[in-house]
Amino acid sequence: QQQVKQSPQSLIVQKGGISIINCAYENTAFDYFPWYQQFPGKGPALLIAIRPDVSEKKEGRFTISFNKSAKQFSLHIMDSQPGDSATYFCAALPGTNAGKSTFGDGTTLTVKP
């Protein structure tokens, strides 16, 4: 049973457009929701993260929207750039010490110039 479902699997966006990636979770014990950006052959890099006590968090061109009742959260990338082309993973962690990350399947984003 996949605990974190991510969609779409791949996404193509024109330069300057908005990229939207969605995730849904089942386990209500999850208490921390980060997004990672990964380039081929590199480690996942933390982009932005949110806790359930807020509905939205913005950092630069990246925004997380969180819907606790629906158990869904999404990443919005505004003014998408070709350099944003990468694989994006959502993740969820429990609200306890040393919690492991459960990742979504990933979304491959391609931003066309």
Partner 1 sequence: AAGVIQSPRHLIKEKRETATLKCYPIPRHDTVYWYQQGPGQDPQFLISFYEKMQSDKGSIPDRFSAQQFSDYHSELNMSSLELGDSALYFCASSLSVAGGDTQYFGPGTRLTVL
Task: Report the interface residues with partner 1, using CB under 8 A.
Answer: 31-32, 34, 36, 41-46, 49, 51, 89, 93-106
- Name the token pair of 93: 């962690």
Residue with tokens 């990672």, as numbered in its chain: 36
Minimum Å gap between C-beta 16 and partner 1 is 28
Minimum Å gap between C-beta 41 and partner 1 is 7
Residue with tokens 């359930």, as numbered in its chain: 52
Task: Choose between 32 and 62: whose C-beta lies nearer to partner 1.
Answer: 32
The helices-and-strands tally (H runs, E runs) of the chain is 0, 11
Minimum Å gap between C-beta 42 and partner 1 is 6
Q: 26: left (phi > 0), else alpha (psi -120 to 50), else beta? A: alpha
Task: Choose between 13 and 106: whose C-beta lies nearer to partner 1.
Answer: 106
